[in-house]
Every structure is written in C-alpha cells, then in structure tokens.
Amino acid sequence: MAVLDHPAENVSPPVAQRAPSWATTLDHKQIGILYIITSLIFMAVGGLEALIIRAQLWVPDSHLVGPDMFNQLFTMHGTTMVFFVVMPMLFGFGNYLIPLMIGARDMAFPRLNAFSYWMFAFGGTLTYLSFLAGGAPNVGWFAYAPLTEYAFSRDHSTDYWILGLMVSGIGTTATAVNLVTTILVMRAPGMSLARVPLFVWMMMFDGVLLIFALPPFTAAAIMLLLDRGLGAHFFDTQAGGSALLWQHLFWFFGHPEVYIMALPAFGIISEVVPVFSRKVIFGYESVAAATVVIGVISMGVWAHHMFTVGMSDALDAIFSGASFLIAVPTGIKMFNWIATIYGGKIRMQSPMLFAVGFLAMFLIGGLTGIMLAAVPIDWQVSDSYFVVGHFHYVLFGGSLFAIMAAYYFWFPKMTGRLLSERLARWHFWLMLAGFNLTFFPMHIAGLLGMPRRIYTYSADRGWTIWNQLSTVGAMLLAVSFLFFFWNLFVSWRRGESSGDDPWDAWTLEWATTSPPAHYNFEEIPIVRSRRPLWDLKHPEDPDWEHE
C-alpha cells in the first residue's frame, strides 16, 4: 500500500475515466509520458541520421551520400538531438515528476502545459516535413548567417528550420513559465524552497534560464525570417548588416542551452546518487547554490564559441576567463556527488550504473571544455573533430547518460513495473563501450586536423583508422539502444511488478501508488524535512529532528 494514498478500493480511481484520450489530456503525467514517447521517436530518427553520417565516413572518398545530403544529415541530426530529443525528454520527466515531488496535484497551468507539448510535437514534425518539400535544412544547427540568407539558401529548407524551431520554441517558453510558476506556488505545506528535491531546484532554474535565453533566439529567428521573406537587411552584409550579430544572438541562446540540457541532468544525478548510496546528499545547499552560479555565469560566456571570428584580444580574454569560472561551481557539484557516494552503502543497480557513467563521461567532457576555453587551443582545434568529441562527451555522456539513469529510476513509478536489470546491464556496458569508442577517437582525428562537417576525406590524411573506430563504436551504440528499447517494450508489458517504492527512496513521488492516481495524492502531505518519505518510514528517527 502506498504510504500516503488510500488503498485503491477507497478512492476507486476509475481507470476507464482516467485515460479517456491522450490527445486531449491535461494531466501532467500523461503529458509527461507523451513528451517522453515523442522524444524517443525523435531519438531513433536522430540516431539513424548519426549512423548514416558515420557510415559515410567509414572509408575515404566514400560516395554513400553526396555532400548535399550530408549537410542535411548533420544539420537535422544536431537540430533533432538538441531541440527534439534532449530538451523534450527532460521536460517529460520534469512534467511527470515535479508535481509529484512537491506534493501538488498538477502543474500550475495544465492547459498551457498541453499547449506546450503540442507546439513541440508540431514544431518537430514541421521541421521534418521539409524532407517532403524538396530538402531538409542543410545549414548546421546554428544556421549561421549569411549562409542562411536568401542569397545563399534559395530553397525553403532554411524556412522550415526557422519556423519549426520558432513553433517549438514558443511551446518551450510556455513550459518554462509553467515550471517556474508550479515550483514557486504549488508546493505542499511545509515544503519550503530549501526542502524541495534538488531535481526540482534545477528544473526551476532551468525554467529561469529558458525565460531569459530563449526569447532572444526567437527574436533572432524572426529577424532571419524577415530577411529571407521581406527583404530586410539584419544579416545582409551588402547593406551594412552584420553576420556577427547572428552569431552573438545565436550563442547568447546557444551556450545557456547547453546548461539548459545539463542542469536537469545534474538534478537527476542528485536524486539517484543519494538513494543508491543510502546517504543524504552531501552539501544540499552548495549543490543548489552552484546551480544558481552556473546559471548566471552561463549567460555571460557565449562568445567562447566565437574566438576564431576575430573579436578583440580583450574580449577573447574576458570570455575565456568567464568560461574557466564555470568549472568552479561544476566542480563543487562533482565533489558533492562523489562525497555522497564516498562511504555509502552502494547499490549498483541500473540507475546508479548510469549515474556513475555520467560522472566519468561528463568529467572528460568538462576537461576538454576547459581546454577549449583557452583561446590558443581553441584557435588550433576550433571546428575540428576535437570539438565534436568534446560536446558529445558533454551532451551524450552527460545529459543522455543521466536521462538513462532517469528511465531506469522512474520507470517503475510510471508503469508499476521494473525494467529488466539483465537487459539494463547489456545496455549500459554496450553503451559505455560504444560511446567511448565513437567519441574518443574524434579527439584524435581533430588534433590530426580533421575538420568538422566534411562529407569525406582522402586516404593520405591518416584519419581513416580513427573514423573507422568511431563508426564501429556508433554501431555498438546502436545495438545498445536496441537493448534499451526492447527493455522498455517488454518490461512495460510484462515486467516484474515493482510495488510503490522499489528503491526505498525518500522523496514524495514514491509516497503515492505506482502509477499514481489521476490526482496524485488523496491527502496532500505535510513536509517537515528534505526527505519527507524517510520521515514517514522512520517516525522514530525523522530528519526534521536534526535539521
């Protein structure tokens, strides 16, 4: 029986009434699952694109896909992964978990929530419709002007890119408003901001970052659209417009975006690590404070993506210094997670496996990031495969490993069933091996001078072996994801029943049934500490006596 919910017969949640239609649902849990499923579909597509990229680079002078198709592939791959996979997947978990974690019955604005989801689904679909309309976007996920100006991009592919991202961006802004409001006003009695789970903390700051970083991107996209459609001159260098302005505006959004994808991942890790180490998180306050510091600094470092465009030395130095600074709060978090694990009674179940994988991979990504923030190194390796290696360690090794931990951790909450540990282990080890085999050699290829976004190379460059390793790694990765999808599929239908609280966790989402009834909690819990469920389970030694 759930700790805080009445037994099913008392409340009799009418199942038939509960799930009338997914298309019109306003329930945060259903919307969360819609987000998760849709982003999984996009992940399969984006992964397929990556595989074709890697297949093309398998041998020198390959003619598998032409240069034009290659441009479309890497543009759509990057765009998809950032906007239609990682972000919506995080929103999916946020949507599902936040009301449960703070003891609320729904998000602050359920209708707006559904609106956001449909804007994302529509924006993503719109971007892909370009394939039917003569060609997908082929200008990179950063869509640098003036390459994206009408003069150089005469078909409609760039318009699809702009409109698709604008539509989903409006939905995302709405999500951000919803997240911040929900967390600020919907908390259960006693759940002060100093007591919310760290995942909630980080999702709130994610919302804040989005609120300030996304509208400038929308504005820039509108400017580009006006240039293309109405003959405006924002980025038209012939008329005095500036290509640099696009870069500044894009990266003013683009860099915080990295943290928008990373903060919720940090939040997931901050939930998983304590539960599987059987210890309270080490330094709750410093983890939360580091979130704020990261958020603030991340708004001020965008130009480290532009060291090679020839800004002044002074500007380079300022942005380089600010970028180094980010390592401090990030290091604090790393320290806290490791200190939480240290001396704990560690249970190496699948969520913890992926969490530890995250720690190691994200560390490597962070270190190469520090290297890139040093201007002379960046000048040397900018736009080479070194960069591709770096950001995949951050985005894939960081965000996606954490998201995988989230799947294994919260799947029982959503379905009432456990994912198979055996399949999870296959998934994990294949993914870890495949991941490193794919992305580590990219650093070397990059140092050997292999530029980013080239569709082929000649045999005398010495890049062949590194590309072949990468491609083999990508195949391994693909296989590992087959295990993941298969696991989701079979466990959802006939996985082992999990009970309400399979991990003996401490946060409120585990206090209700799995899956939760439509209204989450029959009785809204009163919260007295950061681990309300611990207090309920251990009345003889509750946390709040020590706080």
Partner 1 sequence: MSEAHLTSAAATGHGHHRGFPAADFNEEHRVQVGMACFICSEAAFFSTLIVAYITYLGKDTIGPTPAEVLRWPLVIAGTIALVSSSFTVHWANSALRQGDLSAFRRWLAATILLGIAFLAGTAAEWRDLIVEHGLTIGTNLFGTTYFTLVGFHALHVTVGVIVLTLMLALSAKRFVSQQHQVGFEVVSWYWHLVDSVWLVVFTVVYVIGR
Question: Which is nearer to partner 1, 110 or 283 (by Cβ)?
Answer: 110
Question: What would the DSSP string read from start to end of 438-480?
Answer: HHHHHHHHHHTTPBTT-S---GGGS-HHHHHHHHHHHHHHHHH
Say if CB 378 and CB 446 are below 8 A apart: no
Task: List for the chain the helix, strand, coil content (%; round to 5).
Answer: 70, 0, 30
Give the footprint of ligand HEM on residues 84-113 (CB under 6 A).
86
Determine the Cα–Cα distance for residues 249 and 223; give it in Å rounded to an integer: 11
How many CB atoms sit inside 10 A of residue 494's CB?
Answer: 8
For residue 532, whether the previous peptide bond is cis, meaning omega lies within 30 degrees of 0, is no
Give the footprint of ligand HEM on residues 131-170 (CB under 6 A).
140-141
Say if CB 409 and CB 510 are below 8 A apart: no
Supply 51's token pair.
């595989």
Build a one-symbol-per-residue string for 468-487: x at contacts with ligand HEM by CB under 6 A, - elsewhere. Answer: ------x--x----------
By CB under 8 A, tell whether 132 contacts partner 1. no
Build a one-symbol-per-residue string for 137-176: x at contacts with partner 1 by CB under 8 A, - elsewhere. Answer: ------------------------------------x--x
| Exposed / middle / buried, residue 458 (Cβ in 10 Å: 0-12, 13-18, 19+) | exposed
Helix (H, G, I), strand (E, B) or coil at 497: strand
Give, rounded to a whole angstrom, the gap between the first and last alpha carbons of the chain.
29
Site for partner 1 (CB under 8 A): which residue of 58, 109, 335, 486?
Answer: 109
Question: Which is nearer to Cu ion, 298 or 513 (by Cβ)?
Answer: 298
State the nearest-atom distance from the C-beta of 92 to partner 1, in Å: 21
Strand partners, 418: none
Determine the Cα–Cα distance for residues 33 and 43; give it in Å rounded to an integer: 15
Question: Which is nearer to Cu ion, 187 or 255 (by Cβ)?
Answer: 255
Question: Which is nearer to partner 1, 460 or 523 (by Cβ)?
Answer: 523
Region binding partner 1 by CB under 8 A among candidate stretches 238-246, 346-354, 388-396, 400-408: 238-246
By CB under 8 A, tell whether 434 contacts partner 1. no
State the nearest-atom distance from the C-beta of 227 to partner 1, in Å: 8
Site for partner 1 (CB under 8 A): which residue of 16, 21, 240, 493?
Answer: 240
Say if CB 458 and CB 450 are below 8 A apart: no
By CB under 6 A, tell whether 74 contacts ligand HEM. yes
Supply 50's token pair.
């990556």
By CB under 8 A, tell whether 216 contacts partner 1. yes
By CB under 6 A, tell whether 445 contacts ligand HEM. no
By CB under 6 A, tell whether 77 contacts ligand HEM. yes
Question: Which is nearer to ligand HEM, 388 or 423 (by Cβ)?
Answer: 388
Determine the Cα–Cα distance for residues 370 and 373; give it in Å rounded to an integer: 5
Helical residues (DSSP H) of 374-447, grouped into ranges: 375-381, 385-394, 401-415, 421-447
By CB under 5 A, tell whether 390 contacts Cu ion. no
Q: DSSP class of residue 309?
A: G
Determine the Cα–Cα distance for residues 54 and 47; give it in Å rounded to an integer: 10
State the nearest-atom distance from the C-beta of 378 to ligand HEM, in Å: 16
By CB under 5 A, tell whether 255 contacts Cu ion. yes
Question: Which is nearer to ligand HEM, 81 or 290 (by Cβ)?
Answer: 81
State the nearest-atom distance from the C-beta of 326 to Cu ion, in Å: 9
Strands (E), 284-427: none
By CB under 6 A, tell whether 388 contacts ligand HEM. yes
Q: Could you say which of partner 1, Cu ion, ligand HEM, none residue 255 binds, taking C-beta under 5 to 8 angstroms by partner kind? A: Cu ion
Q: DSSP class of residue 399?
A: I
Give me the numbers of helices (H) and strands (E) for the chain, helices first please: 18, 0
Question: Which is nearer to ligand HEM, 275 or 474 (by Cβ)?
Answer: 474
Q: Considering CB under 8 A, how many residues would be counted as binding partner 1?
A: 54
By CB under 6 A, tell whether 395 contacts ligand HEM. yes
List residues binding partner 1 (CB under 8 A). 3-4, 104-106, 108-109, 173, 176-178, 180-181, 184-189, 207, 211-216, 218-220, 222-223, 226, 230-234, 239-242, 245, 249, 518-519, 523-526, 528, 535-537, 539
Q: Which residues bind ligand HEM (CB under 6 A)?
A: 47, 50, 53-54, 74-75, 77-78, 81-82, 86, 140-141, 388, 392, 395-396, 400, 438, 452-453, 474, 477
